[in-house]
Amino acid sequence: MRERINFKNVIQTVFRDYLVLAAIVLLVIITSIVEPKFLTTGNLTNIMRQFGPLIMVALGMTFVIICGFIDLSVSGILSLVAVVTISLIEPLGQVGALIVGMLLGTFCGYLNSVLILASGAMKQAEALFITYGMSTIYGALALIYSGGRTKQMSIVKADTSIFSAIGTGTVGILSVSFIMFLVCLLLLYIFQSKTYMGRTIYLTGGNKTAAELAGIPIKRSIALVYTISGLMTALGAIVLFSRVTAASPVIGKGYETNAILAVVVGGTTLIGGNGSVLRTVLGTTLVILMSNCLNLLGVSVYMQYMLKGAILVLAIWLDSRKQL
Amino acid sequence: MGNSGQEIILSIKNVSKSFPGVKALDQVSLEVRRGTVHGIVGENGAGKSTLMKILSGVYQKDSGTIIFDGEDIKSTTPIQSMKRGLSIIYQELNLVNTMSVGENIFLGRFSEMGGMRGVHAKAKELLKSIGSNIDTYKLVSELSVSEKQMVEIAKALSFDSKLIIMDEPSSSLTADEMKELAKIIHHLKDKGISIIYISHKLDEIFEFCSVVTIMRDGHVIDTKPISEITRAEMIAKMVGRPIENEYPERPNCVGETLMEVRSINTKKLHNISFKLRKGEILGFVGLVGAGRTEIVRAIFGADKVKGHEILIDGKPVKIKNPRDAKKAGIAFVPEDRKLQGLVLPFTVESNISMANLDKITRFGFLNRSAERGMAEKHVKALGIKTPSIKTKVRNLSGGNQQKCVVGRWMETNPRILILDEPTRGIDVGAKYEIYLLMKKIAESGGSIILISSELPEVLNMSNRVLTICDGRITGEFDPRTASADQIMEKALEFCRKDLEHERAN
């Protein structure tokens, strides 16, 4: 009788770990009842395609947040990679453009970490401002490079079959971009849970001082997470402009907040040291499903912004409650 | 208020509290009389802190009654209990460093005091009442630890406290500062204020307290007037078994020179050079802030230091960061295990493995079963009390947490082990086990640098003692022949000169 189960704690754990899943199920049930269009193949394919760009960015962001930092530069990198890649299809061919695009994103991410380490920024807030500044720079570079013009894929005088496949192709019932996501998820999950570098990222996020004093290469972890974030953002950019078949120099706008939203809603805490790419998949699913459902239900875009903001605040509030 | 010294101010009856999987307090009963100093001792994890947190309103009790000053307290918050007259001064002081002394004392109550002038006047008065004349306009960041403690006490008094709980007040005080604290405690007692004094240092319990309560595993084992209990009985009751000695026999196996440190110079350190021999325990004695920690951090590569030389086995080694130090066979158990030693939300397993990940990595992949084996080995070897290696290290007691840090470094097979305040805030039993471990390491040919603010610990464990004052090595002693006074004299050399200088002016 004395060893009573602490219900508050059990509820907290359930709330923490399964809330997102419950929300997703609830959302699917309610929307499919209210709006039968929701469960049609067309809509589901649509959801799968929308999923592609955001999940790539959010997966990269997950590691930055696990490491105890944050990356606001993804919107700038996304725009820059998109306009550069699409412009290089003609001169370099599509494989060349793809490779250069990915290298560019990786380099931009790495550059962030170099600046962060050089300035000795060891706090999330400092990284927030540095990456915000870098985002502005990358965004401006995208505008300068493209002359502010949106480039359509249809006017590219070269073979764009790979990009079309990424944008609209399917293998069986799965879209190509979804398969790309599955491959990335698998690799990143193995990286996260099985490798030395993955572990050092968690330890760095858990306690930088203790990790450094135990001989963990924390600077390498920090450089690595930003580089991964840059690479994943480049992949996101490629998936995105392939789907919309055009690259505007402001195509990445809003992706940083959505990615952070997806990571935090998934349950990776902003304080660092814990979280998982699997959680981010749940978080991203919720974010994408929500906007899809709200669109189907005819809720205005402005209202959707408000809801998203509210959910981010709620997620961060729950997040800080967890630390008790 | 009555003047009877026998009146009961606080009565705790059958209070219990559980956390998931742990019964932190089991039917605890306790009475504190007005105007007395009531000591509470017990090993870490005995439930002292939980009980105090229930009293101050941080936690809520599951059952039992608490009567404070005639009032039955059902549930409370920290602010409410402070207003009722029950204050707690935590080990890690809760002051705002960037604000002045006066502002800290009346934080959030400026208007009640009639503006800042009132605040400082009242603060000065309060500080004077406990015999202190700290300038109330000084920033807290400029104060010494004992001065900060005084500010905390003044803050407690500003709420008209009838009972002040002091949780390990002396853990970072030097001998002189201790005397100040003793004076304050007498002042408070004379004013009719009761004190609950929690400490691991039994000397203090005997010095200050009139009654002592001994706790173990969430139970009150005994409450006795201090005159009716001996030190040995107290320890036996705390650990549940008699302990013959507080220190093991000093290891005696000093060999030739293992490491030589040549001229570390920084802003704070001046020409630090010394030798460490094989199998030697070298003690550093000095005040907090004398530069003891800075020396070992420089050696370990934790602070960026240039221009010094470190030779191991006569060969120079370059140590630019803790990784290099680890490769050179140096291990470092830092002074603040919670901030610098452990990753608190992580498991015992990953806290032990974290300095040894290279060992269990092949082609970049971690071998999880090797990691498990590594953790289990040290949990067993060091007797770490934990439900499992998957338990979060946050949930262990201080002593067991410290053993996790030690275990992590034992796995690296260090030739030189640096221990910075290894026994701070841990209980008698765990202390003894750490001493035994030090002995074992020294006897198997390893060398140890021991930094400690507890002089008896350094004197009883070291083969050689260096005194450090104001960033300089001021003396070298053989603790078997030198007296504590001689050593302290050297450790305070410059400070004393400063004092004399000040007095002369």
Instruction: Tell me which residue of A15, A24, A58, A53 sits closest to A277, measured CA to CA.
Output: A58
Partner A, chain B 283-322, Cβ-Cβ below 8 Å: 300, 302, 321-322
| Residue B1 pLDDT | 40
Instruction: Kindly report the CATH number assigned to the domain that includes residue B121.
Output: 3.40.50.300
Task: Count other Cβ atoms within 10 Å, centred on residue B223.
Answer: 18
Same domain, B207 and B219: yes
Interchain pair A196, B334: CB under 8 A = no
Residue A136, CB-side half-sphere exposure with 13 Å CA sphere: 5
Query: What's phi and psi for B220, nearest 5 deg?
Result: -85, 120
Kindly state whether A8 is in contact with chain B, defined as any CB-CB distance less than 8 angstroms.
Answer: no
Same domain, B141 and B183: yes
Decide: A91 and A324 in contact? Cβ < 8 Å.
Answer: no
Token representation of residue A5:
């189960």
> The dihedral of CA A11, A15, A21, A27: what is its sign?
positive
Q: Which helix (H) or strand (E) holds B211?
A: strand B211-216
Name all contacts of B263-267 with Cβ < 8 Å and 24+ positions apart. Answer: B263/B307, B263/B308, B263/B309, B264/B295, B264/B298, B264/B299, B264/B305, B264/B308, B265/B307, B265/B308, B266/B294, B266/B298, B266/B303, B266/B305, B266/B471
Same domain, B34 and B107: yes
pLDDT at B263 over 70: yes
Nearest CA in chain B to A193: B366
Query: Which residue(s) pair with B324 in the sheet?
Result: none
Query: What burial class does residue A324 get, using C-beta atoms within 10 Å of its C-beta: 0-12 exposed, 13-18 middle, 19+ buried?
Result: exposed
| Residues of chain B contacting A200 with CB distance shorter than 8 Å | 357
Enumerate residue ranges in chain A where pLDDT < 70.
1-17, 321-324
Kindly state whether A13 is in contact with chain B, defined as any CB-CB distance less than 8 angstroms.
Answer: no
Nearest CA in chain B to A13: B20
| Residues of chain A contacting B350 with CB distance shorter than 8 Å | 199, 202-203
Nearest CA in chain A to B353: A214
Q: Is residue B250 part of a domain?
A: no
Q: Is residue A208 part of a domain?
A: yes
Name all contacts of A24-33 with Cβ < 8 Å and 24+ positions apart. Answer: A24/A282, A24/A285, A24/A286, A24/A289, A27/A286, A27/A289, A27/A290, A27/A293, A28/A289, A30/A293, A31/A289, A31/A293, A31/A296, A31/A297
DSSP secondary structure code for residue B392 in this structure: B
pLDDT 10s digits, B64-110 = 999 988 888 887 888 888 888 888 887 767 788 888 898 888 887 88
Kindly state whether A211 is in contact with chain B, defined as any CB-CB distance less than 8 angstroms.
Answer: yes
Same domain, B142 and B285: no
Name which of B16, B343, B364 is nearest A210 (Cβ-Cβ).
Answer: B343
Of the given ranges (A117-131, B125-139, B236-250, B285-299), which has the lowest mean pLDDT? B236-250
CA distance A323 to chain B (A): 9
Decide: A220 and A212 in contact? Cβ < 8 Å.
Answer: no
pLDDT 10s digits, A176-218 = 999 999 999 999 999 999 999 999 999 999 999 999 999 999 9
CA distance A291 to chain B (A): 35
Name which of B326, B354, B365 is nearest A211 (Cβ-Cβ).
Answer: B354
Q: Is residue A139 part of a domain?
A: yes
Query: What burial class does residue A228 get, using C-beta atoms within 10 Å of its C-beta: 0-12 exposed, 13-18 middle, 19+ buried?
Result: buried
> The dihedral of CA B489, B492, B498, B503: what is its sign?
negative
Q: Which helix (H) or strand (E) holds B226?
A: none
Decide: B409 and B417 in contact? Cβ < 8 Å.
Answer: yes
| Residue A101 pLDDT | 96
Distance CA B189, CA B35 (A): 5
CA distance B103 to chain A (A): 28
Nearest CA in chain A to B405: A214
Domain that holds residue A54: 48-252
Name which of B321, B332, B357 is nearest A196 (Cβ-Cβ).
Answer: B357
The torsion angle over the Cα atoms of residues B77, B18, A318 and A223, rounded to 10 degrees, is 110
Same domain, B136 and B177: yes
| Residue A314 pLDDT | 85
Distance CA A201, CA A183 (A): 21
Q: Is residue A215 part of a domain?
A: yes
Interchain pair B343, A206: CB under 8 A = yes
Instruction: Tell me which residue of B293, B265, B287, B266 sits closest to B499, measured CA to CA.
Output: B287
Kindly state whether A319 is in contact with chain B, defined as any CB-CB distance less than 8 angstroms.
Answer: no
Domain that holds residue B291: 257-329+414-504
The letter for the amino acid at B107 is L
Token representation of residue A284:
């991203």
The structure tokens 């990940």 sit at B357
Token representation of residue A282:
């749940």
Distance CA B11, CA A204 (A): 46
Same domain, B163 and B292: no
Distance CA B47, CA B18 (A): 11
pLDDT 10s digits, B347-373 = 999 999 999 998 899 999 999 999 999
Residue A309, CB-side half-sphere exposure with 13 Å CA sphere: 6
Q: Is residue A6 part of a domain?
A: no
CA distance B23 to chain A (A): 8
Residue in A2, A3, A207 to test binding to B, most B beta-carbons within 10 Å: A207
Interchain pair B322, A213: CB under 8 A = yes
Distance CA B145, CA B412 (A): 35
Query: Which residue(s) pair with A151 in the sheet?
Result: A247
Partner B, chain A 238-277, Cβ-Cβ below 8 Å: 273-274
Kindly state whether B500 is in contact with chain A, defined as any CB-CB distance less than 8 angstroms.
Answer: no
Instruction: Tell me which residue of B333, B342, B328, B327 sits closest to B297, measured CA to CA.
Output: B333
| Residue B44 pLDDT | 67
Same domain, B158 and B217: yes
Name which of B325, B346, B355 is nearest A206 (Cβ-Cβ).
Answer: B346
ipTM of predicted complex: 0.83
Query: What's phi and psi for A168, nearest 5 deg?
Result: -130, -10
pLDDT 10s digits, B381-408 = 888 888 889 989 988 877 888 889 999 9
Q: Which helix (H) or strand (E) holds B343?
A: none
pLDDT at B11 over 80: yes
Distance CA B452, CA B421 (A): 5
Residue that wins the pLDDT comparison between B238 and B44: B238
Interchain pair A3, B357: CB under 8 A = no
Task: Count other Cβ atoms within 10 Å, centred on residue B27.
Answer: 15
Domain final residue pick, B379, B413, B447: B413
> How many beta-carbon contacts under 8 Å exist across A and B?
78
Q: Does this model's pTM top 0.90?
A: no
- pLDDT > 70: what percent of chain B? 93
Kindly state whether B265 is in contact with chain A, defined as any CB-CB distance less than 8 angstroms.
Answer: no
Q: Is residue A258 part of a domain?
A: no
Query: What burial class does residue A298 get, using C-beta atoms within 10 Å of its C-beta: 0-12 exposed, 13-18 middle, 19+ buried?
Result: exposed
CA distance B206 to chain A (A): 36
Kindly state whether A209 is in contact with chain B, defined as any CB-CB distance less than 8 angstroms.
Answer: yes
Kindly state whether A69 is in contact with chain B, defined as any CB-CB distance less than 8 angstroms.
Answer: no
Same domain, B475 and B495: yes
Kindly state whether B325 is in contact with chain A, defined as any CB-CB distance less than 8 angstroms.
Answer: yes
| Residues of chain A contacting B368 with CB distance shorter than 8 Å | 194
Name which of A195, A211, A274 is nearest B345 (Cβ-Cβ).
Answer: A274
Nearest CA in chain A to B297: A213
Domain final residue pick, B388, B413, B438: B413
Task: Please work out, in degrees rounded to the nearest 5, the angle formed at the alpha carbon of residue B221 by the alpha carbons of B220 and B224.
Answer: 95
Interchain pair A210, B321: CB under 8 A = no
Q: Is residue B249 part of a domain?
A: no
Decide: B243 and B432 in contact? Cβ < 8 Å.
Answer: yes
- In B379-446 the beta strands, taken as DSSP E runs, fall at 416-420
How confident is residue B457, by pLDDT bands cut at 50, 70 and 90?
Answer: confident
The structure tokens 């009716």 sit at B228
| Residues of chain A contacting B413 with CB distance shorter than 8 Å | none
Decide: B298 and B269 in contact? Cβ < 8 Å.
Answer: yes
pLDDT 10s digits, B242-252 = 666 778 888 88
Distance CA A108, CA A77 (A): 7
Distance CA B449, CA B416 (A): 8
Distance CA B165, CA B213 (A): 14
pLDDT at B213 over 60: yes
Interchain pair A273, B343: CB under 8 A = yes
| Residues of chain B contacting A67 with CB distance shorter than 8 Å | none
Query: Which residue(s) pair with A237 in the sheet?
Result: none
Residue in A192, A213, A220, A224 to test binding to B, most B beta-carbons within 10 Å: A213
**Overall domain count for chain A:** 1
Name all contacts of B227-231 with Cβ < 8 Å and 24+ positions apart. Answer: B231/B202, B231/B206
Distance CA B14, CA B20 (A): 20
| Residue B145 pLDDT | 73
Same domain, B66 and B214: yes
| Residues of chain A contacting B334 with CB distance shorter than 8 Å | 213
Q: Is residue A182 part of a domain?
A: yes
Nearest CA in chain A to B412: A214
Same domain, B35 and B50: yes
Mean pLDDT over B321-340 rounds to 91
Distance CA A286, CA A298 (A): 18
Same domain, B128 and B36: yes
Residue in B333, B350, B354, B419 to test binding to A, most A beta-carbons within 10 Å: B354
Query: Which residue(s) pair with B361 in the sheet?
Result: B366
pLDDT 10s digits, A77-113 = 999 999 999 999 999 999 999 999 999 999 999 999 9
**Overall domain count for chain B:** 3
Distance CA A11, CA A18 (A): 10
**Helix ranges (DSSP H) in chain A:** 7-34, 41-66, 74-118, 124-146, 161-168, 176-194, 196-206, 208-213, 218-244, 255-266, 277-296, 301-322
pLDDT at B2 over 50: no
| Residue B498 pLDDT | 57
Interchain pair A273, B345: CB under 8 A = yes
Q: Is residue A123 part of a domain?
A: yes
Interchain pair A216, B332: CB under 8 A = no
Of the given ranges (A111-120, A286-295, B413-422, B483-492), which has the lowest mean pLDDT? B483-492
CA distance B220 to chain A (A): 18
Instruction: Tell me which residue of A200, A57, A208, A197 sits closest to A123, measured CA to CA.
Output: A208
Token representation of residue A233:
């953002």
Distance CA B202, CA B218 (A): 20
Q: Is residue A2 part of a domain?
A: no
Kindly state whether B366 is in contact with chain A, defined as any CB-CB distance less than 8 angstroms.
Answer: yes
Distance CA B4, CA B33 (A): 10
Decide: B162 and B9 in contact? Cβ < 8 Å.
Answer: yes
Interchain pair B364, A196: CB under 8 A = yes
Query: Which residue(s) pair with A133 in the sheet?
Result: none
Kindly state whether B408 is in contact with chain A, defined as any CB-CB distance less than 8 angstroms.
Answer: yes
| Residue B497 pLDDT | 57
Name which of B18, B334, B365 is nearest A195 (Cβ-Cβ).
Answer: B365
